[in-house]
Structure 1
Amino acid sequence: METGSERNYLLVAALDFGTTYSGYAYSFRNNPKEIYSPGVWNAGDGGLASLRTPTCLLLNPDRSFNDFGFNAENKYADLCADFKHHEFYFFEKFKMELYHKTMRRDAVLKDISGKNMPALLVFSLAVRYLKEELLSTLTKRGTGVSLGDIKFILTVPAIWSDSSKQFMREAAVMAGLPNEQLILALEPEVASVYCLKVPLENMPFGEVYNMKTPGYQYLLADIGGGTADFSVHEVNQDRSVTEIYTASGGAYGGQDVNERFLEMLLHIFGKETIDVLKSKDMEDYLSICRSFENKKRIVSDEYLENFRLKLPTEILDECSLDIIQENIRSFYNEDLVSIQKGKLKISSSLMKMFFDKSLTKIKDHIHELISRNSNVKSILLVGGYGESKLLQSELKKGFPEKNLVIPQDCNLSVVKGAVLYGYYPLTIFQRKMRFSYGVKGYALFEKGKHPEHRKIKLASGDEHCEDAFDVLVPKNATIPTTGLTISRTYCTASSTQKSMDVYIYKTEEENPIIVDGKCSFLKRISLPLPVYSGRERVVEHNFTFGLTEVKHQAKILETGQCFLNTFDLL
């Protein structure tokens, strides 16, 4: 099993570090399904209230922690108003930096004004905040629980790279979470656990009476602020689940709707005006963004009223009404958007247009998955964006033959499911490999299989294929979540060899033959060897797949020396 799963902890706590919002939840071992979460986080201006707090981080000029969430937004707005913000660091939505990227320990992030900061420090301070908030809550409630009594579950998207997952673990350890008490959990999987473990009355939307029937297949759509993760699961006889199609997704979460709105502001008022607003009155800029966040939650097919957002006076002072009207005519028309009495009036049809791009990508992705998995009966919708009435309506219209299921705590399904995953990790029984993993090396040349230009002749006269892809585990292989260990042994090439290097690659090809341009280099594992003593020096490599992170260890058979946790991708 994975790190953190062997002991009987008093409490399991989940940290849900999201692109737009973050939070935590926990439950006690004696009553694991009674899950506690902080309740409502408030923006402080009487406006936006949320079950999670924004993923925003404010650091002092000396790079020390100042605040997180709504408080960080408000403090930064105050600093801007007093023109004292220039030396402070403000980060928002920075989780997307880990999406589809090969991360390194020395990676840097740019804050909102372009100042650089070590990425590992930024992520660790954000995780530390969630950890400290959790511990403070436990202390206030008189639980008597200390750090060592807690198993931590940290959620990550299933579509992240191996290096991004390792980066997140190291950031969490840097934040003070003991490595041996920490498990990384995949967001769509834990949402699936939540829906399978909670009572059916917690699933008020959709036909759920047969969802736990063995053989039942459903598509899990975890659509949050930044990314949309999709998995296809099948219920087993023991009510565990097997992943029957590899996790996939893309960057088309709810934040895309906000970006379309911000594009409209730029079209109407101009970049210079919006930049002036940010520099002179960040509080008003945040206010209009929060107001839109509230308004977009009620967008639906049934809601036909206009939406009105109060405009900051700074915008109206900086940009003349004539220019505004001309811009509206150029990009839209006055039936869609207009300025009335200091307010921006947006028609319901234009509000829906802001959703078009993300909705199209989501529906296209689901259609592709369902076309490959005809036995899928239901679409299980979770995540913050999953609460959108418009998204729900589009999925019902787009897939009328499928049963759309939405849990009661749609926005909290991931964090609450992560708590339950801490107690019931084997609810996720098997996973599909997203890539083929292998070792670059030599293979006996097979005519018709290996390309001629890769053929070389050794001194012995044998013909080999150079840079062959020795498959450790193929893409789409079904692997138990307890892990599958694959072994390889390699001998030294000469008696003077002082170290042994093994080159690890991955590819989306199911049956790779050679290492070529379709392959991605992952890691060079270099091990020091003992001095040659007349005996052949052989190294055994053990790779473990199927966990949320790839593991590796090696052993020199001659001496028994072991090397642990050598699969360092950072």
Structure 2
Amino acid sequence: QAGLVSPECPEQLLIALEPEAASIYCRKLRLHQLIDLSCKPLAKGLAPEHPIDSSFRQAREQLRRSRHSRTFLVESGMGELWSEMQAGDRYIVADCGGGTVDLTVHQIEKPQGTLKELYKASGGPYGAVGVDLAFEQLLCHIFGADFISTFKAKRPAAWVDLTIAFEARKRAAAPARASALNISLPFSFIDFYRKHRGQNVETALKRSNVNFVKWSSQGMLRMSPEAMSELFQPTISQIIKHIDDLLQKPEVQGIKFLFLVGGFAESPMLQRAVQAAFGSACRVLVPQDVGLTILKGAVLFGLDPTIVRVRRSPLSYGVGVLNKFVEGKHPREKLLVKGGRSWCTDVFERFVTVDQSVALGEVVQRRYCPARPGQRRTIINIYCSASDDALYITDPGVRKCGTVSLELDELGQPSGARREIRATMQFGDTEIKVTAMDISTAKTVRASIDFLSN
């Protein structure tokens, strides 16, 4: 519908999972293109005064000069980091974006250099926007939630200006910072508050008794480093917990590297917290130009989509079918009598279960018969579930994610002849390819399902 590719050539569009793209790019980096947080000891719980030493400054400058070069896409060999990896080494990529944090776990396979996904991609709403929401809650506490709601509705442009001003200060926040952070309040905010409340913002700030936030005569909120740190803590704590929960799983033991990527990974606050939590267990690495990691990795994935050889299915996938009704096994409410035969309706027949390993190109086939003789069309509904024990398509959490409709041409066969439909699902790619074929006529229809959807 977006016109990215023509309907005749849908295979020209590839879908890449963001943390997977980051993983593909990170494995090609050289050591001078990485910041190794684990090499920097914490000083009294704070990051060192110079978070990037002279060698990293030189590397940054070198990377800046070659930023427009495309050599990172066409290098035949792996980077120096690759030389440190052995077959079986495992690493985590934490994609810390604006809205969510997504984690993926890969294992290196040598000598071909392909990747195997060890645990299904997981994530949560722990992105940088959580810090913005914490700032909005602080404003609500100081000036009143009703006023902030009214101001956002009546002065949307000024609200955007305020959020932009906070974004700039948020990026400047660092654990070792000692000076206050000034956030400009738009004049329309100050004026609107005076008209709405009948008092100035300085009075509201004093009455709120908010610690570490003062008013500046230049029309700014002066936030101490402690106040800014409090805004970060809820979001960062959730990210640390999410990574820690993943590390506790049996299939994710022996992690060697933890890559931080995505826009939020640029934050020194997040870097310091991850370093403190996991630096002793594995090497915590941040690529230079971390915000472009996913974009570059997506290009590499497009050049070689077979680089990830084994994935984990994020959901259970199957079809809805009619099975012969078995008394005592199937519930009575699922009984359907047609043509003198008893059927159990709404049966969820799984092709693959959640978190099951699926190799690239792996195919699962099933054979079905039309429900009644002379049927001119068969419709195969495809369902998915986050559970591995769903029995019926009406069970909680089961939803339809696709449909394949196959026209059945009339055959010159006896009316009682058995007719078979072969349903095929091909897994392991970023999309599931579904095929239904009429065995009698070889007529085939195809469909694709987003393998990455939840």
**TM-score, length-scaled by structure 2:** 0.78
Map 1:95-494 to 2 at 5 A. Answer: 170-171=1-2, 173=4, 179-206=10-37, 208=81, 212-237=85-110, 238-270=112-144, 271-272=146-147, 275-276=150-151, 279=154, 282=157, 284-320=158-194, 322=199, 324-325=201-202, 327-328=204-205, 332-372=209-249, 373-399=252-278, 400-443=280-323, 450=329, 453=332, 456=335, 466-481=345-360, 483-494=361-372
1: CA distance between counterparts of 2:7 and 2:216? 50
1: CA distance between counterparts of 2:268 and 2:191? 36
2: CA distance between counterparts of 1:564 and 1:455? 29
2: CA distance between counterparts of 1:177 and 1:289? 45
Q: Tell me which residue corresponds to 2:66.
A: none
Q: CA deviation at 1:185?
A: 0.8
Q: Deviations over 1:91-115 (max 9, x none)?
A: xxxxxxxxxxxxxxxxxxxxxxxxx
1: CA distance between counterparts of 2:33 and 2:425? 40
Q: Tell me which residue corresponds to 2:60.
A: none
- Alpha-carbon contact 2:37-2:271 (below 8 Å) kept: no
1: CA distance between counterparts of 2:2 and 2:305? 23
Q: Secondary structure at the match of 2:35?
A: coil
Alpha carbons of structure 1 residues 409 and 261: separation in structure 2 relative to 1, 3 Å: same
Q: CA deviation at 1:189?
A: 0.7
Alpha carbons of structure 1 residues 262 and 171: separation in structure 2 relative to 1, 3 Å: farther
2: CA distance between counterparts of 1:319 and 1:543? 60
1: CA distance between counterparts of 2:356 and 2:224? 49
Q: Percent identity?
A: 28
Q: Secondary structure at the match of 1:426?
A: helix
1: CA distance between counterparts of 2:2 and 2:160? 28
Query: Structure 2: any 5+ residue segments left out of the alignment?
Result: 39-80
Q: Which of 1 and 2 has greater Rg?
A: 2
Larger relative contact order (C-alpha < 8 A, sep ≥ 6)?
2
Alpha carbons of structure 1 residues 424 and 333: separation in structure 2 relative to 1, 3 Å: same
Alpha carbons of structure 1 residues 543 and 560: separation in structure 2 relative to 1, 3 Å: same
Q: Tell me which residue corresponds to 1:503.
A: 381
Q: Deviations over 1:275-331 (max 9, x none)?
A: 55775582x543332222121112122112111122221122222384635643565
Alpha carbons of structure 1 residues 267 and 339: separation in structure 2 relative to 1, 3 Å: farther
Q: Tell me which residue corresponds to 1:144.
A: none
Aligned length: 398
Alpha carbons of structure 1 residues 455 and 313: separation in structure 2 relative to 1, 3 Å: closer
2: CA distance between counterparts of 1:447 and 1:403? 58
1: CA distance between counterparts of 2:435 and 2:427? 12
1: CA distance between counterparts of 2:151 and 2:6? 36
Q: Tell me which residue corresponds to 1:93.
A: none
Alpha carbons of structure 1 residues 182 and 220: separation in structure 2 relative to 1, 3 Å: same
Q: CA deviation at 1:411?
A: 1.0
Q: Deviations over 1:391-410 (max 9, x none)?
A: 01111222232321111121
2: CA distance between counterparts of 1:460 and 1:310? 77
Which piece of structure 1 moves more, 389-398 or 498-507?
A: 498-507
Q: Tell me which residue corresponds to 1:564.
A: 446
Q: Tell me which residue corresponds to 2:64.
A: none
Map 1:48-63 to 2 at 5 A. Answer: none
Q: Deviations over 1:412-452 (max 9, x none)?
A: 1100111222223222121000111112224467899x455
- Alpha-carbon contact 2:431-2:449 (below 8 Å) kept: no
**TM-score, length-scaled by structure 1:** 0.63
- Alpha-carbon contact 1:328-1:334 (below 8 Å) kept: no
Alpha carbons of structure 1 residues 540 and 262: separation in structure 2 relative to 1, 3 Å: same
